[in-house]
Structure 1
């Protein structure tokens, strides 16, 4: 089958040049100027400025506040796979303690780099794979914590695919659900990721900056998750609070 829109003669060179500019910003570090990039790559200054403007527009680069240089942007962080680091022993002990109090699965996720990654999944209640959670954040409680924290959640939830008959895929309804997450500091999904399971999740934030760094989730039968679950939510919040100084 032929490519319906093959690259023209100049396009491969332009793609290579744009990637070279990204690599140069990584190598030189934040604050590298257009003139320095142009000299290092031996590119015409007009070409360099055009590529920089394109990469800034697509959020792979950002202009520094003093307008003298450039740094990697939000989308550039998504080009690399997140490094999964095991939480410290004290944090794992807190998670294990919660597992001993409930019959549901207990999972700890990291949001470092703006990506959802499971760092302490419950071995007795295997969760959905991190790659699926990261790709379809609209369908999971942990993913909704991340989306609710974004200025524009649509930039992370690009594929609102229905994973079950209960998955919320409408942008208006999902936006309303995320507003509730922000108001309550609690995310809930009932049978949206897998039909028979649901989850409750609460955020773990850096106390100094308020930045979202992790999330703690309880996963169990979808019908049970739909209930108020005041006692389970209380336990979830208490243990998330204990994790703050260990993970922030």
Structure 2
């Protein structure tokens, strides 16, 4: 039978496949970052082979991302972008803005604020004078950055070298670091922001010259009190 003129062409993927892919996204959102493919398969009731195939497609399309140890999955940059469009942009209060202005004057480098939402890094306020190098990559690969490595510290499932280094940095400095891993002359730091119960709710980060991250005492002297002041204002 000939297709009538003006009728849309057949979709590249059957509707059932689209529905299954959306079910996988919902499962990862519900079960949390780091969930395994086997657990996702059991949650949605799909065969493992189908689950693995759709997970790979979702990773390729950046709706999901593999965890640093490759044992599980988390929501990716595309989901974060959709959430950002759907939700009204958060803004710093005037009191929080005053704290940020002061610490940026003191540090003279990139100072940024992020929140942690369902295991994702959500940028609340990026330094306009020293912007983040790659928002998308921070969302896709948070463990490549100090801002994302704080999420690994209390995650018992994270047992790789990056997680262990993050725990060692927090034990020594009270902050996570990334020293020259993306660009050899730069690095970054992140100090936790705590909620009323003491839980990890976000971070105050610094990005700048690597030598200031290799020996972070001077930068941290400015970041720590700013983080303590910001916590009650934004989380």
Using the size of structure 1 for normalisation, the TM-score is: 0.60
Instruction: Confirm or deny that 1:179 pairs with 2:170.
Output: no
Alignment match, 1:121: 126
CA distance in 2, matches of 1:76, 1:116: 10
Q: CA RMSD in A?
A: 3.4
Alignment match, 1:211: 199
CA distance in 1, matches of 2:162, 2:42: 35
SS across alignment from 2:103 = helix
Q: Which entry has the higher C-alpha Rg, 1 or 2? A: 1
- 1:75, CA displacement in angstroms? 5.4
Using the size of structure 2 for normalisation, the TM-score is: 0.63
Which structure 2 residues correspond to residues 129-140 of structure 1 after superposition, within 5 A?
A: 129-140=134-145
Which structure 2 residues correspond to residues 63-212 of structure 1 after superposition, within 5 A?
A: 79=79, 81=81, 82-83=83-84, 84-153=89-158, 172-184=160-172, 185-208=174-197, 210-212=198-200
Structure 2 regions of 5+ residues with no counterpart? 1-12, 31-40, 52-72
SS across alignment from 2:132 = coil
CA distance in 2, matches of 1:218, 1:224: 10
Q: Is the 8 A contact 1:191 1:198 kept in 2?
A: yes
SS across alignment from 2:45 = helix
Q: Is the 8 A contact 1:147 1:178 kept in 2?
A: yes
CA distance in 1, matches of 2:132, 2:201: 20
Q: Is the 8 A contact 2:107 2:222 kept in 1?
A: no
Instruction: Confirm or deny that 1:230 pairs with 2:217.
Output: yes
Q: Is the 8 A contact 2:175 2:192 kept in 1?
A: yes
Q: Is the 8 A contact 1:137 1:147 kept in 2?
A: no
Q: Alpha carbons of 1:86 and 1:24: their partners in 2 closer, same or farther (altered >3 Å)?
A: closer
- 1:12, CA displacement in angstroms? 4.6
- 1:150, CA displacement in angstroms? 2.8
Structure 1 regions of 5+ residues with no counterpart? 1-10, 31-49, 59-73, 154-170
Alignment match, 1:166: none
- 1:132, CA displacement in angstroms? 1.0
- 1:225, CA displacement in angstroms? 1.5
